[in-house]
Amino acid sequence: LYSKVLNQRFSSITDVYVYMFLCDVINFIIIVFGYWAFGSHSSQQANVVSDLQSNQVPTGFLIMLLIQFSMIIIDRGIYLRKSLLAKMIFQLILIVGIHVWMFFVLPAINKRPFFQNSVAQTWYFFKACYFLLSAHQIRCGYPQRVVSNFLTKSHGTVNLFLFKGYRLIPFLAEATTVMNWTFTSTSMTISEWLKLWSVHGEVFELKCWRRHSVIAVMGVMGVMAVMGVMGVMAVMGVMGVMGVMGVMAVMAVMGVMAVMGVMGVMGVIAVMAVMGVMAVMGVIAVMGVMGVIADPAVSNIVTASGSNSIMLNNTNEARRDLYQLLQRSNATNITNGVIKELMPQFIHSSGSSSSAFVAYNLYDGTGKKYADVELKLQEENTDIWWRVLDNSTSGNELNFKLHIFSDKVSPASLSFLVNYGLIGLYVSVVLVVGRLVRSGLVGATSTIMFLELPDVDRILQLCNDIFLVQEEKEFELEEDLYAKLIFLYRSPATLIKWTKLKQH
């Protein structure tokens, strides 16, 4: 049976390697994001993402990726060699090994039967599709020409951008080219092979662009460029967001504890924009109970400044209040006091710090003063707390009116851009955009003769002829055609003749 499969005359040769490769790539992605289902982990919390964030690479995860990657490499090598015997042996080894792993070894490791492991079932489904495609490939045989990239078989827009993306992935195009050279019988050296594939890729892109070239409308690109620059500047100008969730001001006595505080919550904060530079918030700060002063804390406050003596006559109001405080005969004892110029009305909140400071520039030379604060010490049973009133407002309202000048705060997702400040941000944008623009303008004279080719069909056909004679193992003809290709790029006059537009 095996000899009939290996020596049969193929009536319908097909190439399904692309679909087999796609199945392997999907399985590779499943292993990356569903690693927890293939090990001794019992939940999705033990995923590889959390391990990588902690700068750790699980050994089992690394081994599984290497095995999956090795299977892709081996399959690619067999495909380039067009060896049906190697493909059949590889297919049998994979079928036996994967079924033993999936139905016996894996359930014993993670203590979960196969029918309860949805990730493993998904992986097995795509692997079964791979086995089906591989069996079809063995049954029909390999095509004669397998070296060319499947993305270059058509010259459409989708193929163009997929091919450009393929070449932009680091090391992917280079590794594929080197692997093709390793498993292909050729008379070229590795440097000549890389030059050939580089020429073929550039000519393919030129062919796609020439096929879809249209007459440009005058002035449209200039308008788009101006609008693009204005859009970038507008985004940079409004990139900040207001990070105001609440306002709190706390006063501590001798560093012992917070004895007074005011708090403004989100519902009572009014935001007003001023000249687009910063935001002014008219804050109606609602009083909150900051805590209870325990007896040891009271004694610390009393003895913190040492001993002082003061004479109080009979008519002194402070003497009467002190008497009421010390007597503590009522269920609720209230002591009033006024602190002059305690609370600033204008505060500046910097975007680079979590603390706010007094806006001194609004007080210096203006004659404005801080607001007076009236304190009421209340005691009920064993609890003591302060009630704070704004003495400058009418009716002793239990509110404070603060004006906070808050700088714009950029989102956390853009912290890597704004950490260098405004000047650093603009300089980096100017340098990056300037380098991109200059790369398209400077040095164009050295590439005009290779990029401005009206018709590249003959050069593309020459590259395809080189690939064809490689498959036929006509090495002398391969050397002659490659020498002809090199001569074209060394002779601008000949290149001009070869790339002239066809006369209809």
pLDDT in tens, 278-287: 444 444 343 4
> What are the distances in angstroms from CA 439 to CA 209, 427, 435?
20, 18, 6
Q: Give the model confidence (pLDDT) of 222-238 as tens digits.
A: 666 667 666 655 555 55
Query: For residues 143 and 150, what is the distance between their CA atoms, to the nearest angstrom?
Result: 13
Averaged pLDDT of the chain:
75
Could you tell me what percent of the chain has a pLDDT over 90? 23
Both tokens of 388, joined, read: 């704070």
The residue-averaged pLDDT of 16-21 equals 93
DSSP state, 242?
-
Residue 269 parent element (H or E): strand 269-274
**Taking 50 as the threshold, does the pLDDT of residue 434 lie above it?**
yes
What stretches of 114-257 adopt beta strand conformation (E)?
247-252
Q: Give the model confidence (pLDDT) of 226-270 as tens digits.
A: 676 666 555 555 555 455 555 565 555 445 455 455 555 444 444
By three-state DSSP, how is residue 381 classified? Answer: coil
Q: Give the model confidence (pLDDT) of 329-386 as tens digits.
A: 555 555 677 777 777 777 877 766 666 777 777 676 666 677 777 777 777 777 777 7
**Taking 50 as the threshold, does the pLDDT of residue 197 lie above it?**
yes
pLDDT for 21: 94
pLDDT for 91: 95
pLDDT for 320: 76
Could you tell me which residues come within 8 angstroms of residue 305 by beta carbon, excluding any fewer than 6 positions away? 254
Q: Where are the domains of the chain?
A: 2-140, 247-302+315-409
The residue-averaged pLDDT of 471-486 equals 92
User: 259 exposed, middle or buried (CB, 10 Å; 0-12, 13-18, 19+)?
Assistant: buried
1 — pLDDT class (breaks 50, 70, 90): low
By three-state DSSP, how is residue 291 classified? Answer: coil
Higher-pLDDT residue of 398, 201:
201
Closest-CA residue to 400 (of 262, 280, 290, 279) = 262
**Taking 90 as the threshold, does the pLDDT of residue 72 lie above it?**
yes
> What are the distances in angstroms from CA 395 to CA 221, 284, 285, 345, 398?
66, 16, 16, 18, 9
Query: 447 and 486 in contact (C-beta within 8 Å)?
Result: no
DSSP string, 308-323: ------TT-HHHHHHH
pLDDT for 461: 92
Closest-CA residue to 185 (of 86, 83, 89) = 83
The CA R_g of the chain, rounded to the nearest whole Å, is: 39
Partners of residue 252 on adjacent β-strands? 258
Both tokens of 265, joined, read: 């919550």
Q: Which pairs from 431-434 meet CB under 8 Å and 24+ separation?
A: 433/232
Least confident among 86-95, 204-213, 414-423: 414-423
Least confident among 81-90, 136-145, 273-282, 391-400: 273-282
Query: For residues 101 and 95, what is the distance between their CA atoms, to the nearest angstrom?
Result: 10
Could you tell me what percent of the chain has a pLDDT over 70? 63
> What are the distances in angstroms from CA 359 to CA 110, 138, 281, 389?
62, 80, 14, 22
DSSP state, 370?
P
pLDDT for 294: 47
pLDDT for 277: 37
Q: Give the model confidence (pLDDT) of 407-431 as tens digits.
A: 766 666 666 666 666 676 677 777 7
Query: For residues 181 and 194, what is the distance between their CA atoms, to the nearest angstrom?
Result: 9
**Taking 50 as the threshold, does the pLDDT of residue 118 lie above it?**
yes
Global pTM value: 0.60
Sign of CA dihedral 262, 267, 272, 278: positive
Residue written as tokens 């999956």?
68
What does DSSP say about strands 383-390 and 258-264: parallel, antiparallel, or unpaired?
Answer: unpaired
Higher-pLDDT residue of 335, 304:
335
Query: For residues 65 and 48, what is the distance between their CA atoms, to the nearest angstrom?
Result: 12
The residue-averaged pLDDT of 131-160 equals 86
pLDDT for 24: 95
Half-sphere exposure of 4 (CA within 13 A, CB side): 1
The residue-averaged pLDDT of 320-331 equals 64
Both tokens of 358, joined, read: 């007094």
pLDDT for 314: 75
Closest-CA residue to 296 (of 260, 336, 331, 257) = 257
What does DSSP say about strands 356-358 and 371-380: parallel, antiparallel, or unpaired?
Answer: unpaired
